[in-house]
C-alpha cells in the first residue's frame, strides 16, 4: 500500500495577496476539502472552511472571509468573528471555540499544508 504524502502543495505564496484571504476547494487524500487561508506577510494561516457553530462554510462569496478592515475572519452566516492567527472565535454564537487549523509552512515560495490532520 502506498504511503500517504506528509504534505500537500496548496498554492504559491504569490497567489495569495498579503493581508487577504483565499478559499481552496481541493481533493486531498481522496476526499473533497474546503479550506481557506489568510496571508500576513510570509505567514499563512490555513483553516478548514467550516464554522464551529453549525458547520457551514464561513464565506458566501468567493474569497470573502475577512471583515472589511481585514483584521478578523468573519462568518457570513451568523457574523461570528475569529482571530486570524489562532482561529479563536472572539464574538458571535461560537465564542470561545476555534476554527480547525491546518499546520502550514512556506518553503521556496510555495505554501504547503500537513496532511496528518486529515488522517485521524
Return d(Cα 107, Cα 54) in angstroms, integer.
Answer: 34
Confidence of residue 3 (pLDDT cuts 50, 70, 90): low
Q: Residue 120: is its pLDDT beyond 80?
A: no
pLDDT: is 54 or 1 the higher one? 54
Q: Is the dihedral of CA 80, 91, 74, 40 positive or negative?
A: negative
* CATH number assigned to the domain with residue range 7-118, chosen from the 4 options 3.40.50.800, 2.102.10.10, 3.30.2130.30, 3.20.10.10: 2.102.10.10
Q: What DSSP state is assigned to residue 98?
A: B
Cell of 16: 495569495
Query: What is the average pLDDT value for the chain, to the nearest integer?
Result: 93
pLDDT tens string 54-77: 999 999 999 999 999 999 999 999
pLDDT: is 58 or 28 the higher one? 58
Domain positions in the chain are: 7-118
Answer yes or no: pTM beyond 0.85. yes
Amino acid at each position: 500500500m502506498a504511503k500517504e504524502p506528509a504534505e500537500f502543495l496548496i498554492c504559491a505564496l504569490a497567489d495569495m495577496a498579503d493581508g487577504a484571504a483565499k478559499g481552496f476547494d481541493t481533493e486531498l487524500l481522496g476526499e473533497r476539502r474546503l479550506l481557506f487561508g489568510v496571508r500576513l506577510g510570509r505567514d499563512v494561516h490555513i483553516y478548514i472552511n467550516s464554522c464551529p457553530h453549525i458547520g457551514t462554510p464561513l464565506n458566501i462569496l468567493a474569497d470573502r472571509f475577512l471583515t472589511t478592515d481585514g483584521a478578523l475572519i468573519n462568518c457570513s452566516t451568523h457574523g461570528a468573528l475569529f482571530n486570524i492567527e489562532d482561529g479563536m472565535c472572539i464574538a458571535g454564537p461560537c465564542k470561545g471555540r476555534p476554527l480547525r487549523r491546518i499546520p502550514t509552512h512556506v518553503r521556496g515560495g510555495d505554501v504547503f499544508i500537513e496532511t496528518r490532520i486529515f488522517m485521524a
